[in-house]
Amino acid sequence: MQMQTAVKNCFLLLALSGIMASCSKKSNGTTKKGESSVTGWKYNDKTQGNFNVPKPKDVKTAPGLVFVQGGTFMMGQTQEDVMQDWNNVPKRMTVNSFFIDRTEIANVHYREFLYWHENVFPDQPTITNPLLPDSLVWRSELSYNEPYVEYYFRHPTFNYYPVVGVNWKQAERFCEWRTDRVNELELMKTGFLDPKTQISKEMKGSGQDNFNYKSYLMGEYQAKPGPKVSGGKSPLKDAQGKPRKIVKFEDGILYGVYRLPTEAEWEYASYGFIGQNPQKKFNQKKRGEEVHANKQMYPWKNDGFDNLRYTNRGANQGAFLANFKRGTGDYMGVAGGLNDNGSYTTDVNDYAPNSFGLYNMAGNVNEWVFDVFRPIRSDIGDMAGIRGNDFKVVDMSKGQGNLRDSLGRIMMTRQSDSVLRNRRNYQHAYAVNFLDGDSLSGANYGYGITTLVSDKSRVYKGGSWNDQAYWLSPGARRFLEEDQASSTIGFRCAMDHVGAPEGTSIKNKSGNQFPATRAKRR
């Protein structure tokens, strides 16, 4: 009897130890104590080299952005092509999860951008003047728009109206500047930059010596840390276990890069198909169905006579859901019953958001996207498809310590095709005209003779205050040269999402998670 009890206790101890061992293992391949599952060496231990492995945290959402859960959708014009352009054939596409601005970039945001440059680069019009929006885009030979020429960009009334007159290149510059300012502020908040010193230096005309995201990460930008970090209280440690004053990207403190959304991302986000998915309740811990209940024509659910009006009973019943032109000479309806309550642009927070929480993805102003325009899109990839890649590397021709240009940015140069010739995934750094960039491409396109499509033609989408309802469909697309602007085109920024595609919480896992199974004894 005692023997049987001892054997049972032994089995219980073995089972308990097995459970504890399995519990100590984490899904990321490390033990609970932070040991490598491939070498056994401890992480974050100065006696074993102090290899720093930060604990995974929730993915931070940068200022102004909204998380968009990716997925598959039918990209392109799925309704009748009334314009008969035939430049938007439907294509099944998958978009990775990403972030995008809740609203269009407003006048006040762009004035902030100009203000910073005017202070950091004083008396340097060659730098600041090219950034100014073109207010003359409001002019028309047979229309009186002078009040908008004079007041639209500067008057406080229009602070949160979408900025227009900005070309594609200026929108790209804004994204770069925003990346720097957001990460600079984050480093000041966490003590790795001294706020007083940093702001004083830049606002007094630091010129080239201003904070740049990539320059900082590459060690080309030196700055004074805050008091705590300077005093040895940094949470980061070097290999000797001493406080580290410089942040690395793998520390998880910095945000990613702001950029223009790709055409596929913008179109996917505009539809907001997640609202068409019959979702289960969160507390049931079940995923939604792999189906879209309905195909939408606009960023909101189809409803009513023309799918353009608010149909719920109440004061807003019958009101238009976007700012657009109903027909010739009808921009806002009849006095006393204005249908969209906007003759030109309106506040970026007006109208109802779509299922992702995004405002004005149809109407108000068209929006620049990253892609170079081509009339045929069947050749782009079906996963995160894009046209416009121009692969570059850091220009090391002047040596380490001299990598910055006159604006403080890291200088980049296009990769040489001779270096890429043995690669399998790509062999040309300039992929803008890939598959149409051969010796016959000039004859095919004949820019300036038979077409206006070029490598500088950029896509814009969404419809505007000056467009009729056809252009409000997310699948509709047009193009304009990247150095030109319009009173009907604005933009919003996007950012890559890292981690599990389902969301930003550390609780979200990539791949499907199943309970462990044990083989049955025979």
Domain ranges, ordered by start, for the chain: 28-57, 65-105+151-160+257-386+444-496
d(CA 149, CA 484): 17
Q: Is 65-105+151-160+257-386+444-496 CATH 3.90.1580.10? A: yes
429 neighbors 388 (Cβ within 8 angstroms): no
170 phi and psi angles, rounded to 5 deg = -65, -35
pLDDT in tens, the chain (522 residues): 444 544 444 444 444 444 444 444 444 444 456 889 899 999 988 888 888 888 888 889 999 999 999 999 999 876 666 666 667 788 899 999 999 999 999 999 999 999 999 999 999 999 999 999 999 999 999 999 999 999 999 999 999 999 999 999 999 999 999 999 999 999 999 999 999 999 999 999 999 999 999 999 999 998 999 999 988 889 888 888 889 999 999 899 999 999 999 999 999 999 998 887 766 555 555 667 776 666 788 999 867 667 898 888 888 888 899 999 999 999 998 998 888 899 999 999 999 999 999 999 999 999 999 999 988 777 788 999 999 999 999 999 888 888 999 999 999 999 999 999 999 999 889 999 888 745 434 435 555 544 688 999 999 999 999 999 999 999 999 999 999 999 999 999 999 999 888 888 878 878 887 888 777 776
d(CA 475, CA 490): 18
d(CA 332, CA 344): 9
> Does the pTM of the predicted model rise above 0.85?
yes
- Of 363, 365, 266, 359, the C-alpha closest to 308 is 363
Q: Which long-range contacts does 296-299 make (Cβ < 8 Å, 24+ apart)?
A: 296/271, 296/272, 297/79, 297/473, 298/322, 298/362, 298/472, 298/473, 298/474, 299/270, 299/271, 299/272, 299/354, 299/358, 299/361, 299/362, 299/474
Give the tens place of pLDDT for each residue, 216-268.
Answer: 999 999 899 999 998 888 988 888 888 999 999 989 999 999 999 999 999 99
Half-sphere exposure in the Cβ direction for 1 (13 Å, CA): 0
What is the torsion angle, in degrees rounded to the nearest 10, for the CA atoms of residue 496, residue 497, residue 502 and residue 503? Answer: -130
207 phi and psi angles, rounded to 5 deg = 60, -130
